[in-house]
Structure 1
Amino acid sequence: MKNKLFISIVLSICFSFLTVAQEKELNKEQQQAADEGIIIDGEINQSKTIDPLTPARAAFYSAILPGLGHIHLKQYWKVPVIYAGLGAGMYFYLDNQNTYNRYRDAYKRRLAGYTDDEFYGSISDDGLQEAQSTLQRNKELSLLVTAGIYILNIVWANVDAHLLQFNVDENLTFMPHYKINEFDNTGDLGLTLNFKF
């Protein structure tokens, strides 16, 4: 009887020291987590503040100067992609414009009665008219693609700014898992959704 009483007293003392040590350690962890902005016991301390105007600001900057919204978001690698798209659209617009002007000038000279244009003998008058309409359509299409890339640049900056503020932490996870069933030794495939408050 004395041994059981002695063992229970020793275990109680050890357990009390253990809980005091754990409580001190937990207080240190809570203080450190509060400094870092981590969620502890349902309290939410955000480490970064969410600025609701960041998406609008990024879109505005991209509207003023393409790529500036991505620079504001510190996504520098996207700027050359935007300018490559805009540059390609403008290149094809200017190329179609120059070629259109050549065909138009040749057609005007033929209407005036001259036979010294660069296309004389290889392209007929109807061919010059057809080439002008094709080049006009290509020129307008190039301008439309360039404007589309400009608008896409604005939308891209806005969406990226929204996604940067999206909450991605361990309290909300969606993970696939594979588990061996112990009863019939088959595999079970499933999805796990964890949501902690």
Structure 2
Amino acid sequence: MKKLTTIFLFFSFCLGFSQVNPNDTIRVENHPKDSIPAAKPFSEAQVIQDIDQKNAPPKVTKLSPSKAGLYSAVLPGLGQFYNKKYWKIPIVWGAVGTGIGIALWNDKQYKRYRNAFVAELNGLPHEFSGINGIDKTVLGNAQDSSKRQRDYAIGISALIYILNIVDAVVDAHLYEGRHDPDLAITPTMINDQFGNSYAKTGISFSFKF
């Protein structure tokens, strides 16, 4: 009887351990909010658009040719300043100033010879009276020569003025937003043309108009 009781208790004890309490288990459930969504594949159009954006040239700054021409018309060299071609400003000023200076000097000489010529015709004393070889013919030729040189200087000055406007308009039209300087000095490698395997270092000059 004791053996049967012992066997019964043993089997009851094993049966109790074999049962699993649902409250003691740990469950891992995938909640919809905590789940990591799968990467959405890109469409072919999106891929092509992304490649085009990466390969697209950078946006460039545009200048207004009309503004550049107007600035140069108001003041020679101002259009070149607007186009950031600063090295052209002294050239424009020098050319226009030289032409105007020559025209003014010849106009002054023309007036001198003209007054003397008129006085010589009327038999009146003038600036060149008493100088041997000075007569109405010489004074007439001198006034004509001074007048001709004055007109040439005025024409050349007007041409330089017009070229100054054209240059400003063309520069503004061809401007591509370059930020590199007009005059650049950069190191470079020079290949030896006489068969030497070693390359030589040097300096290169680049100049842009």
Scaled to the shorter chain, the TM-score interval is 0.5 to 0.7
Among 81, 86, 111, which residue is 1:76 paired with? Answer: 86
- Deviations, residues 80-111 of structure 1 (Å, cap 9, x unaligned): 10000011001110110111111111111112
Are residues 117 and 41 of structure 1, via their aligned partners in 2, closer, same or farther at CA, if it must alter by over 3 Å?
closer
Gaps of 5+ in 1: 1-33, 35-39, 168-197
Work out the CA distance in 2 between the residues paired with 1:105 and 1:44: 74
The offset of 1:130, in angstroms, is 1.3
The number of residues matched between the two structures is 129
Are residues 146 and 116 of structure 1, via their aligned partners in 2, closer, same or farther at CA, if it must alter by over 3 Å?
closer
- Deviations, residues 94-146 of structure 1 (Å, cap 9, x unaligned): 11011111111111111221245325423221111111111111111110111
Name the counterpart of 2:136.
Answer: 125
1:48 lines up with 2:59 in the alignment? yes
Calculate the aligned-residue CA RMSD, in Å: 2.6
Name the counterpart of 1:182.
Answer: none
Work out the CA distance in 1 between the residues paired with 2:128 and 2:145: 19
40-49 vs 99-108, greater mean Cα deviation: 40-49
**1:147 partner SS:** helix
1:59–1:158 contact (8 Å) kept in structure 2: yes
Among 91, 114, 121, which residue is 1:104 paired with? Answer: 114
Q: Which residues in structure 2 correspond to 1:1-197 (within 5 Å)?
A: 45-51=56-62, 54-118=64-128, 120-165=131-176
- Deviations, residues 26-52 of structure 1 (Å, cap 9, x unaligned): xxxxxxxx9xxxxx568653423353x
The offset of 1:147, in angstroms, is 0.6
Please identify which structure carries the higher helix content. 1
Q: What's the % identity of the aligned pairs?
A: 38
Gaps of 5+ in 2: 1-49, 179-209
Are residues 147 and 116 of structure 1, via their aligned partners in 2, closer, same or farther at CA, if it must alter by over 3 Å?
closer
1:109–1:117 contact (8 Å) kept in structure 2: no
Larger radius of gyration: 2
**1:113 partner SS:** coil
Are residues 139 and 107 of structure 1, via their aligned partners in 2, closer, same or farther at CA, if it must alter by over 3 Å?
same
2:107–2:150 contact (8 Å) kept in structure 1: yes
**1:150 partner SS:** helix
